[in-house]
Amino acid sequence: MPVIRSIVAANWKMHKTAADTAAFFDAFLPLSASLPPEIEIVVAPPFTAIAEASKRLRGTRILLGAQTMHWDLEGPFTGEVSAPMLLEFRVSHVILGHSERRAACDETDRTVNLKVRTALAQGLTPIVAVGESGNERSAGRTDDRVVAQTRAAFAGVPAAELARVTIAYEPIWAIGTGRNCDPEEADRVMATIRGSLDGLDETPILYGGSMKPENVAAYMAKPNVNGGLVGGASLDPTGFAMLIANAAR
Ligand code: PGA
C-alpha cells in the first residue's frame, strides 16, 4: 500500500469573525510550531475571515481552505465566491459537498461535480465530503450511498487526477452530535470509498463526525484513515493543537 500523507482539516462552519480568527491564530500559531510536521494542517474559516487568516498564515506551515465555492469563474451569481477570488488569498483547499450544504443550500451531486472539476482546473485541492444519513444507515444503504456520491463527485475526472483530491467520509448522524462512528466501521466504509473508483489508491481519505482529541488516535490507527475533517473540536486553539498532536501518535 502506498504511503498517503496525513491531513487534519478544520471546518469552522459559520463560526468566528475576522477578529475571532486573529485571536485564534494568536494562540494557535505558537502551539503549531511544536506539532508533528508529518501532519498537514488546513484551516477553513468563513469567507469574511479568509483575508485575516491569509495574512496570519503567511510564512507558516498551515494551509488555508474555504468551505465552498461556485463552479463558474465569474458572473451573475449573487452571494457566491469563485476559485480566482480564493486563490487571490492563497487558499489551497476547498471543502465541497458538505452534508450541511447538500441539505440546506441545494448542493447536489451534479453541482459538487462541477465544483470539483473547476477546483482541479484552477489548482485548488477539493476536500469532497460524502456520507450517509441515520435513516440510510438503518436501511443498510450506507455503502451504496457513499459509492454513488463518490462516483458522481468525480465523474469525468481522469483517474490520474484523483491523487490530487481529498475525500472526507462524514456520516451525517455523527456530525456535531458527539456520537462518533466506531473507528472500525469508519475504516470499513472508507475502504469501500477507496475501492469505488480507479485512481483512489493514493487519495487521502479523512474521517469527520465528532472527532475529538480523545478519539483521533483510534481512527489514525486504521489503515484507510488518513486524517480528519474537524468541526466543533477545531474551534478552540489548544484543543485543536492537542487533536493534531494526538493524530500523530
Ligand atoms: P463535527 O463536524 O466535528 O463538529 O462533528 C465535522 C464536520 O461537519 O465537518
Expressed in angstroms and rounded, the spacing between residue 125 Cα and the centre of ligand 1 is 19
Q: How many CB atoms lie within 10 A of CB 184?
A: 10
- How confident is the model over 177-230, as pLDDT tens digits? 999 999 999 999 999 999 999 999 999 999 999 999 999 999 999 999 999 999
220 within a domain of the structure (yes/no): yes
Domain, as residue range, for 169: 6-32+40-247
Give the pLDDT score at 106. Answer: 87
Residue nearest to atom 7 of ligand 1 (CA): 231
- How confident is the model over 147-188, as pLDDT tens digits? 999 999 999 999 999 999 999 999 999 999 999 999 999 999
Q: Which of 229, 235, 243, 244 to mutate to test the pocket of ligand 1 (most atoms within 8 A of CB)?
A: 229
1 within a domain of the structure (yes/no): no
Q: What is the residue whose three cell numbers read 474537524?
A: 230
241 within a domain of the structure (yes/no): yes
**Distance in angstroms (rounded) separating the CA atoms of residues 98 and 148:** 15
In the numeric block, which cell numbers belong to residue 128? 469532497
Residue nearest to atom 3 of ligand 1 (CA): 231
Give the pLDDT score at 79. Answer: 96
Residue nearest to atom 2 of ligand 1 (CA): 231
124 within a domain of the structure (yes/no): yes
Q: Is the shortest distance between the CB of 232 and ligand 1 below 6 Å?
A: yes
65 within a domain of the structure (yes/no): yes
Count of domains in the chain? 1
Residue nearest to atom 6 of ligand 1 (CA): 231
**Distance in angstroms (rounded) separating the CA atoms of residues 96 and 88:** 19
Residue 232 to residues 9, 11, 151, 209, 229: CA-CA distances in angstroms?
Answer: 12, 8, 28, 9, 10
Q: Binning pLDDT at 50, 70 and 90, where does residue 1 land?
A: low
Say which CATH number the domain at 178 has: 3.20.20.70
102 within a domain of the structure (yes/no): yes
54 within a domain of the structure (yes/no): yes
- How confident is the model over 37-96, as pLDDT tens digits? 999 999 999 999 999 999 999 999 999 999 999 999 999 999 999 999 999 999 999 999
Q: Is the shortest distance between the CB of 216 and ligand 1 below 6 Å?
A: no
243 within a domain of the structure (yes/no): yes
Give the pLDDT score at 21. Answer: 98
Residue 208 parent element (H or E): strand 205-208
Closest atom of ligand 1 relative to the 232 alpha carbon: 4
Q: What is the residue whose three cell numbers read 483575508?
A: 51
Of 11, 3, 63, the closest CA to residue 170 belongs to 11
Closest atom of ligand 1 relative to the 180 alpha carbon: 5
Give the pLDDT score at 2. Answer: 73
Expressed in angstroms and rounded, the spacing between residue 205 Cα and the centre of ligand 1 is 15
Amino acid at 128: V
Amino acid at 202: E
